[in-house]
Amino acid sequence: MSNKTLRTVHELLKHNFITEQEVLSLDKLSQTYAIAISPEMVNLIQTTDDPIGLQYIPHPEEAITHPDELNDPIADEALSPIPGIVHRYEDRVLLKPLLICPVYCRFCFRREQVGPDNGLLSDQQLENALQWIENHPQIQEVILSGGDPFILSPRRMKHIIETLNQISHVTTIRIHTRVPFSAPSKMTAEFIDSLESDKALWVVVHANHPKEFTSAAYQAIKTLVKAGIPLLSQSVLLKNINDDVETLESLLRHFVEWRIKPYYLHQLDKAPGTARFYVPIDKGRQLLSALRGRVTGLAWPTYVLDIPGGHGKVPLGPDYFNPQTPHSVLDPNHKIRQI
């Protein structure tokens, strides 16, 4: 059993997660894309190509950039007026108080941005970002992302929440995190208390495979539920991890059973070196179509693509209506039904 986060290729080698032949290439790769596998995830990995190992163990193919892959696939940088702020939609804004995570996903679209060297916003940068939000009255929702906001200190998180509470035009706070699943031991009672807000505060948790639903993760989620915080989920459709009907069904059912409403199933953002995870959109739509009728509507996520270039998300879900035959629809088995 591991009790430490793995951060170097030599630590990965000691755990037999990589081979001697891969050390040199992966050491070079780690200078660009950070490595971190939390103890909880280390202990879940049974083989390097199992659904947990694939998500976190670096691979030499990450050094290969395909022509359709972009360094900033959703144009975060182009839409960032000041450090810590991304303003893509008029009524909401992304606040990134840090670019550090307890684990680094090998498919992440911010892989070249996140890592221990990027750290926190300075105190002044954070105040500037919060002031920027206050100065833009059209903003109603603030989304804390990063990095992972759940590894902020309770003091810093409490300061952010309390400041947003004082901004009258902000009505909703949303926090995106992997911590409850990937590093549940980091969720202390003091941190939960720091989330207290007068605004509508939602937490969006990220998990991609049923194996991530451990007893420790359950206790972490339970603390959020007991605090009265509504929970949503987001997952990424990933090749050889969750791109089959049975796995997706189990994943979505687990969310609902844990009082987490499935929210987004993301089409992979094409960041450099992520081609090994790519699932074609047609297959994604077929998977969603196959799930219709197999799972309750409570478990149904919106399958979305973030259009490259910063144009926002669009739904990709299966279409059951054909305008050429306006008096009929397709049922989940693609049979025509009259309406």
Q: Can you say which residues are annotated as belonging to the binding site?
A: 101, 105, 108
313 is catalytic: yes
Residue type, 289: S
Of 7, 92, 186, 285, the active-site residue reads: 92
Residue 105 falls in the annotated catalytic set: yes
Burial of 214 from C-beta contacts in 10 A (0-12 / 13-18 / 19+): middle
* Whether 264 is catalytic: no
Q: Which residue is catalytic, options 56, 106, 111, 306?
A: 306
Among the options 72, 88, 148, 174, which is catalytic? 88
Q: Choose among 300, 260, 273, 337: nearest CA to 26.
A: 273
Q: Which residues are annotated as a binding site for [4Fe-4S] cluster?
A: 101, 105, 108
Catalytic residue from among 56, 108, 158, 253: 108
Among residues 56, 101, 174, 303, which one is catalytic?
A: 101
- The candidate with the shortest Cα–Cα distance to 265, out of 275, 247, 274, is 247
Catalytic residue from among 158, 269, 270, 303: 269
From the list 110, 111, 178, 270, the catalytic residue is: 110
CB 336 within 8 A of CB 325: yes
CB 285, CB 302: distance < 8 Å? no
d(CA 183, CA 227): 19
Known catalytic residue: 68? no
Residue 319 designated active-site: no
3-state secondary structure of 98: strand
Cβ–Cβ < 8 Å for 68, 272: no
Which of 56, 96, 104, 105 is labelled catalytic? Answer: 105
In the chain the first and final C-alpha atoms are separated, in Å, by 58
The runs of H, that is alpha helices, within 107-265 are 123-134, 154-165, 179-182, 189-194, 215-226, 245-257
Of 89, 218, 263, 320, which is the active-site residue? Answer: 89
269 in catalytic set: yes
Catalytic residue set: 88-89, 92, 101, 105, 108, 110, 269, 306, 313
